[in-house]
């Protein structure tokens, strides 16, 4: 069980135990799953409607596979909680959020003020990720 330090959702926090991707396929009643860096997020796509929590694990923040996993789930329409778990660093928080994460459970609690600064850092963004509701700079230029 990890502590969620930052959450950007209005609904009730989900605290169902997250199972591995492998056992998720076998347990038809599980509602929470945990994706490791080597897992294929697309394996979950047939089951999105019964999921209310997906944890994406970052054993080391320098392994960026979880960013793709997150976007893939959001692109497929997953709307439940998407929680980044593990070795999270302040400087990547806003980028995680841009890939669709809306909850953050770092191994070690982050400095609140520095983290808040990081979330608020980028007033504008160059890309549309399509999953964070933000308008890209190019869209503003040609709005």
Partner 1 sequence: MYKYDEYDQQMVDTRVAEFRDQVRRRLAGDLTEDQFKPLRLQNGLYLQLHAYMLRVAVPYGTLNSAQMTLLGDIADKYDRGYGHFTTRQNIQYNWIKLEDTPDILAELAKVEMHAIQTSGNCIRNISSDQYAGAAAEEIVDPRPYAELLRQWSSFHPEFLVLPRKFKIAVIASETDRAAMRLHDIGIKMVKNDAGEIGAQFYAGGGMGRTPMIAPLIREFVPLDQLITYSEACLRVYNRYGRRDNKYKARIKILVHELGRDEYVRQVEEEFAHLLTQPIEPPLAELERIKTHFVDPGFEAGASDDLDLTDPDFRLWVERNTHAHKQAGYVIATVSLKPVGGIPGDATGEQIRLMAQLAKDYSFDELRVTHAQNIVFPHVKKADLYTVWQALDAAGLSTANLDTVGDIIACPGLDYCALANARSIPVAQKISERFGSAERQAELGELKLKISGCINACGHHHAGHIGILGVDKKGLENYQLLLGGSEGADTSLGQITGPGFTEDGVVDAIEKATEVYLANKQGEERFLDTYRRIGMAPFKEAIYG
Residues contributing to the site for partner 1 (CB under 8 A):
37, 61-65, 67-68, 71, 75, 89, 91-92, 94-96, 98-99, 111, 114, 117, 121-130, 136-142
Instruction: Indicate the residue among 30 and 69 with the shorter CB distance to partner 1.
Output: 69
Q: Report, in Å, the least distance between residue 50 CB and partner 1.
A: 23
Residue with smaller CB distance to partner 1, 1 or 141: 141
CB atoms within 10 A of CB 30: 19
How many helices and strands in the chain, by DSSP H and E?
Answer: 5, 6
DSSP readout, 31-81? -EEEE-TTS-GGGGGGGGGG-SEEEEEESSTT-THHHHHHHHHHHTT--SE
Token pair, residue 34, equals: 């945990």
**Nearest distance in Å: CB 84, partner 1:** 12
The smaller minimum CB distance to partner 1, of residues 52 and 125, is found at 125
């Amino acid at each position: 069980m990890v502590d969620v330090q930052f959450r950007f959702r209005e609904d009730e926090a989900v605290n169902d135990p997250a199972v591995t991707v492998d056992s998720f396929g076998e347990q038809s009643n599980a509602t929470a799953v945990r994706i490791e860096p080597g897992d294929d997020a697309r394996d979950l796509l047939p089951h999105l409607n019964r999921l209310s929590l997906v944890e994406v694990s970052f054993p080391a923040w320098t392994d960026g596979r979880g960013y793709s996993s997150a976007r893939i789930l959001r692109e497929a329409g997953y709307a439940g909680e998407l929680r980044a778990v593990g070795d999270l660093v302040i400087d990547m928080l806003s980028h995680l959020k841009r890939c669709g994460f809306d909850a953050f459970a770092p191994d070690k609690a982050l400095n609140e003020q520095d983290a808040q600064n990081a979330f608020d850092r980028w007033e504008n963004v160059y890309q549309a990720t399509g999953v964070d509701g933000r308008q890209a700079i190019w869209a503003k230029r040609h709005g």
